[in-house]
């Protein structure tokens, strides 16, 4: 009962009617994004006088943006190159004058192509199954746009175009956009599918510019900056000094990408068009991506869960064990970066495997306590806004689905 002592449902964390796409948060959709209102409240509540925030699984940089808005420098890490690109772009101050020059140039470029003028010699990328996911006409249009972006000289502006291009890639592909995993639309739909590629990216650019203007106005007198790295916190904390971080605000993966939220599959086509090598291997590099043989953690709550799943399915037990093994290593490394007295705020979800609910909130607490942290609170919220599928396939068997998480658990720990 001790683990339940401070847990309570608090609907004020639901933010049902909140606008979650303010400022640069509007830039790019991504699976299971933490909403900015949660990050903001955690920073205000637990980051008083903080100078540096760390998000070890930063995704598209929600907590990093919110830190900057509060004049706090931020550090984020993520293994997915697309997430890194989005996070860098969302936290960058881009010169509007330069951006507008390129936007005008792109509009003129698009206009001339519509009339058959100035068609460039283009190179379509050569990655596996490109013809499976894109029509020839769409490939040509995407390649033309990509060539234009590649020639942009200002890196921040180029990145803003790239993330608009990334969304355009996905929306103009044969992928079912309601899914995170890659599923192709039926043949009858493909026959009629004729996306207006230039209009799609133009709408993304217009939206991004509006968000950027709001962000620049809000941060006009703020000098805080963000750094985004691609190292794996399971293995290292890179060049982040020990005891240098004032607050950690993050939402780690709920489980391995193969059976939970398919970050790698969601971003694969974008990463391939952006020239990322081995884009189809990203899920294997994330937490739980490599399957290990089961060993005792020595932490009862984890060992009991693994044992219960083993009784039902040894393979699934090994997958769950592998995720928590990596998660534990990551928390060990991340813990070392936090100053004494600093707070670690983890927004987690409790998924089901073989009908058994995994108490990741309590496991997160146990892992931090093993690193000398004091438990402060757990806020339970409903998930009205988070972009999650209503069901997933935890076994990857066709037709076998489980209802996904309806609640998130905001676990707050403090370092002694």
Per-residue pLDDT of the chain (416 residues; tens, 9 = 90+): 344 445 668 889 999 999 999 999 999 999 989 999 999 999 999 999 999 999 999 999 999 999 999 999 999 999 999 999 999 999 999 999 999 999 999 999 988 876 665 566 788 999 999 999 999 999 999 999 999 999 999 999 999 999 999 999 999 999 998 888 899 999 999 999 999 999 999 999 999 999 999 999 999 999 999 999 999 999 999 999 999 999 999 999 988 877 787 888 999 999 999 999 889 888 888 888 899 999 999 999 999 999 999 999 999 999 999 999 999 999 999 999 999 999 999 999 999 999 999 999 999 999 999 999 999 999 999 987 555 444 545 554 545 555 557 899 999 999 98
User: How far is it, in rounded angstroms, from Cα 395 to Cα 258?
Assistant: 9
Please give the backbone phi and psi of residue 165, each rounded to the nearest 5 degrees, phi first.
-65, -40
Nearest C-alpha neighbor of 256 from the set 38, 79, 14: 79
Contact indicator for 244, 52 with CB cutoff of 8 Å:
yes
User: How far is it, in rounded angstroms, from Cα 349 to Cα 406?
Assistant: 8
Contact indicator for 351, 360 with CB cutoff of 8 Å:
yes
How many CA atoms does the CB half-sphere of 81 hold within 13 Å? 18
What's the pTM?
0.92
Check residue 119 and report its DSSP letter.
P
What is the SS3 assignment for 84? helix
What is the SS3 assignment for 342? strand
How far is C-alpha 82 from the geometric centre of its chain's CA atoms?
A: 9
User: How far is it, in rounded angstroms, from Cα 200 to Cα 206?
Assistant: 10
Q: Is 268 exposed, middle or buried (0-12, 13-18, 19+ CB in 10 A)?
A: buried
Check residue 341 and report its DSSP letter.
E
Q: Which helix (H) or strand (E) holds 266?
A: helix 263-273
Contact indicator for 227, 35 with CB cutoff of 8 Å:
no
DSSP secondary structure, 201-253, as one string: HHHHHHHHHHHHHHHHHHTTT----EEEE---TTT--TTPPTT-EEEEEE---
């Amino acid at each position: 009962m001790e683990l339940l002592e401070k847990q309570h449902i608090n609907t004020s964390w639901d933010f049902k009617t909140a606008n979650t796409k303010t400022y640069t948060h509007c830039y790019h959709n991504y699976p299971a994004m933490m909403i900015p209102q949660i990050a903001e409240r955690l920073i205000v509540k637990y980051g008083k006088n903080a100078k540096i925030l760390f998000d070890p699984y930063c995704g598209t940089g929600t907590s990093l943006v919110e830190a900057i808005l509060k004049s706090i420098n931020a550090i984020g890490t993520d293994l997915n190159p697309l997430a890194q690109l989005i996070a860098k772009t969302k936290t960058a101050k881009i010169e509007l004058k330069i951006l507008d020059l390129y936007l005008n140039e792109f509009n003129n470029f698009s206009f001339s192509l519509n009339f058959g003028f100035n068609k460039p010699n283009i190179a379509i990328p050569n990655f596996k199954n490109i013809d499976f996911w894109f029509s020839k006409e769409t490939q040509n249009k995407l390649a033309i746009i990509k060539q234009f972006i590649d020639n942009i000289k200002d890196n921040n502006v180029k990145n803003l175009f790239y993330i608009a291009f990334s969304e355009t890639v996905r929306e103009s592909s044969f992928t079912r956009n309601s899914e995170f995993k890659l599923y192709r639309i039926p043949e009858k739909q493909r026959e009629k599918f004729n996306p207006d590629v230039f209009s799609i990216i133009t709408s993304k650019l217009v939206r991004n510019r509006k968000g950027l203007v709001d962000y620049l106005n809000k941060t006009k007198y703020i000098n805080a900056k963000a750094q985004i790295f691609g190292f794996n916190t399971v293995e290292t904390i890179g060049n982040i000094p020990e005891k240098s971080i004032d607050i950690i605000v993050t939402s780690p993966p709920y489980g391995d990408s193969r059976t939970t939220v398919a970050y790698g599959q969601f971003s694969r086509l974008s990463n391939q068009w952006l020239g990322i090598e081995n884009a189809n291997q990203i899920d294997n590099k994330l937490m739980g991506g490599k399957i290990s043989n089961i060993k005792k953690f020595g932490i009862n709550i984890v060992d009991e869960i693994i044992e219960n799943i083993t009784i039902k399915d040894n393979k699934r037990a090994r997958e769950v064990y592998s995720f928590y093994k990596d998660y534990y290593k990551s928390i060990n490394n991340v813990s070392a970066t936090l100053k004494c007295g600093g707070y670690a705020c983890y927004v987690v979800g409790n998924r089901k495997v073989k009908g058994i609910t995994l108490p990741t909130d309590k496991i997160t607490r146990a892992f931090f306590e093993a690193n000398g942290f004091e438990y402060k609170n757990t806020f339970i919220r409903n998930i009205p806004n988070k972009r999650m599928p209503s069901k997933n396939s935890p076994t990857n068997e066709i037709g076998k689905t489980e209802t996904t998480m309806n609640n998130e658990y905001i676990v707050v720990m403090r370092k002694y």
